[in-house]
Amino acid sequence: MPIGRQSPQSHSLHNNEFDQIRNIRYRFNMNTSALPARTFAAFLFDMDGTILNSIEAAERAWAAWARKHGLDVEAFLPTIHGVRGIETISRLQLPGVDPYAEVREVLHAEMEDMGGVRAIAGAPKFLASLPEDRWAIVTSSPRELAIRRLDAAGLPHPKNFITGEDVENGKPAPDCFLLAAQRLGQPIEDCLVFEDAPAGIRAAEAAGASVVIVTAAHERPIGTGHPSILSYEVLVAHHLAEGGLRLGPAA
């Protein structure tokens, strides 16, 4: 989720330059002692903004929908990130609008637009290094769209995959992370969540998990006491003999 976002046009024009500058600054200033020092049973990853960047494509689809309904696009777009589409539309309480029909319309637009969808730096290698029974993707996106974006970004499909259809209550409710931990057979308190959006961070906190914030899609820091990383290039996952995982700085 972009914090202090620019217009979609400006973000698109300068995104690669911003990524390079932020990466240099973060590598120089990173305090590796801020990473969780404990051992975890499993890692749980949000998708959009956390292991891949789909902001440009998502905002194009949602901006078109917002204009159609006479909404203030600049005010509306920050509300779409990290939550399910049905909740985004339902809370607007637009008269005469069927939220489920509108969600299907936006989903169709998002499925047709993979422009700019790409992996967060280092994510493919980091995910590939994890045992398949020790990690999951936990996303608010519908499964069909999630798979399409993972393929566009060149990321693996997880063995354990929680999507927006799998829970009754979406983020910031903790249901999705609790379900992921259950399917992995691990206590949620022994799971580390990688998130980028406020709704997801609140969901992970409510579930009782530890949290690392991924800031690759942020344009300025967010107020949180959790450790943060710009990309997965700065991390390595150590596999312990008893089966646990521990984060460390990349060499």
**Considering 19, 48, 175, 190, which one is annotated as catalytic?**
48
Per the CB < 8 A criterion, the answer to whether 198 and 2 are in contact is no
What does the alpha-carbon distance between residue 155 and residue 159 come to, in Å, rounded to a whole number? 13
Is 190 among the catalytic positions? no
Per the CB < 8 A criterion, the answer to whether 41 and 187 are in contact is yes
101-138 burial by CB neighbour count: b if 16+ within 10 A, else e?
ebbebbbeebeebbebbbbbbbbbebbeebeeebbbbb
**Beta strand segments in 101-160, E:** 118-119, 135-138
Residues 6+ positions from 85 with CB-CB distance below 8 Å: 103, 106, 107, 142, 164
CA-closest candidate to residue 120, choices 46, 226, 12: 46
What does the alpha-carbon distance between residue 174 and residue 180 come to, in Å, rounded to a whole number? 10
Is 48 among the catalytic positions? yes
- Pair type for strands 118-119 and 52-53: antiparallel
**Considering 46, 113, 175, 196, which one is annotated as catalytic?**
46
What residues are labeled active site?
Answer: 46, 48
